[in-house]
Amino acid sequence: MAIVPNMPRSWRVETKPHKFCPGCGHGLVLKALGEAIDELDIQDRVVFGCDIGCSLLAWDFFNVDIVQTHHGRTTPVMTGIKRARPDRICIAYMGDGGGYAIGSQHLVNAATRNEKITAILVNNCNYGMTGGQMAPTTLPEMKTETTPYGRDVEETGYPTQGPEMVAAIAREGAYTARGTVANVRQLKNYLKKALQNQLEEKGFSFVEALSGCPTNWSTNAKATWAFLEENMTKYFKVGEVKVPVKEEE
């Protein structure tokens, strides 16, 4: 008898195996998200928005309402859905290019308005879908297709630290954290807290997930994890950045 792997209830089983490259971190982030949705029992209320980028490959991942938007625009589209139907649980799922470059104004302004949505951003240090160009998160000295001589921080600045940036803007009630696919349980807890924040209508919630892109990094399994756990976490600190103050203690 075939062994059926344990999959979150909210997943669409018939679309597995998924469409990401082997070893891609997106699948692990979505596994954590699936478990968080299951544990909160909100599958029927979730609207999942994905960006243009490899996140769009999640278009058939879940058995929930799904919408894919233009590159960078997932946050405002989900904002529209949430404002029109506040009982929906709106998730904007995007890459680091989508969230920190072309969509950065939307992230900043959603945080400013304290939109009651959950943004999840997959940080893989590059533009995966377009073949490995520099992203706002590309590490100093890292070579990509548009930083052929290595990322020069004098020219292009330092990698964006998203959760810290959002935490600085967001108002009381917002939740921001950075997880990693190297610790799926912890990531799931962050995602669950982010969604809980939306459920309790406290404010904006934002979780960045450190993730691997072996295809564009040209790394094997071992080198992928090494890059993720050594190079990335040195610059991008894993942990909660801003949590709402407890009302009663």
Size of the site for ligand SF4 (CB under 6 A): 12
| DSSP state letter for 54 | G
Within 6-45, which residues bind ligand SF4 (CB under 6 A)? 20-21, 24, 26
- 216 near ligand SF4 (CB under 6 A): yes
Q: Identify what 55 binds: Mg ion, ligand TPP, ligand SF4, none; CB under 5 to 8 Å per kind.
A: ligand TPP
Whichever of 78 and 209 has its CB closer to Mg ion, that residue is 209
Whichever of 43 and 219 has its CB closer to ligand SF4, that residue is 219
| DSSP state letter for 233 | H
The backbone region for 113, taken as left when phi is positive above 0, alpha when psi lies in -120 to 50, beta otherwise, is: alpha
Contact letters for ligand TPP, residues 61-90 (x by CB under 6 A): ----------x-------------------
Candidates 8-16, 107-115, 125-133, 160-168 — which segment interacts with ligand TPP by CB under 6 A?
A: 125-133
Q: Which of 93, 127, 145 is nearest to 213 (CA)?
A: 127
Q: Which of 132, 138, 144 is nearest to 157 (CA)?
A: 138
Q: Which of 44, 60, 141, 145 binds other proteins (CB under 8 A)?
A: 145
Within 85-114, which residues bind ligand TPP (CB under 6 A)? 95-98
Phi, psi of 189 (to 5 degrees): -65, -40
Q: Identify what 146 binds: Mg ion, ligand TPP, other proteins, none; CB under 5 to 8 Å per kind.
A: other proteins
Determine the Cα–Cα distance for residues 57 and 68; give it in Å rounded to an integer. 10
For the CB of residue 53, give the shortest distance to ligand SF4 in the complex, in Å: 8
Q: Which residues pair with 62 in a beta bridge?
A: 11
Q: Which of 227, 214, 225 is nearest to 22 (CA)?
A: 214
Count Cβ atoms below 10 Å from residue 33 Cβ, excluding itself.
30
Q: Which of 15, 43, 114, 130 binds other proteins (CB under 8 A)?
A: 130
Contact 50, 74 (CB under 8 A): yes
Whichever of 32 and 42 has its CB closer to ligand TPP, that residue is 32
Strand arrangement, sheet containing 46-50: 65-68, 46-50, 89-95, 118-123, 205-210, 175-180, 239-242
Please report the sign of the dihedral spanned by the C-alpha atoms of residue 120, residue 121, residue 124, residue 130: positive
- 123 near other proteins (CB under 8 A): no
Please give the residue ranges that form the binding site for ligand SF4 (CB under 6 A). 20-21, 24, 26, 54, 124, 128-129, 213-216
Please give the residue ranges that form the binding site for Mg ion (CB under 5 A). 95-96, 124, 128, 135
Please give the residue ranges that form the binding site for ligand TPP (CB under 6 A). 52-55, 71, 95-98, 122, 124, 127-130, 135
Please give the residue ranges that form the binding site for other proteins (CB under 8 A). 52, 70-72, 101-102, 104, 127, 130-131, 133-134, 136, 145-149, 156
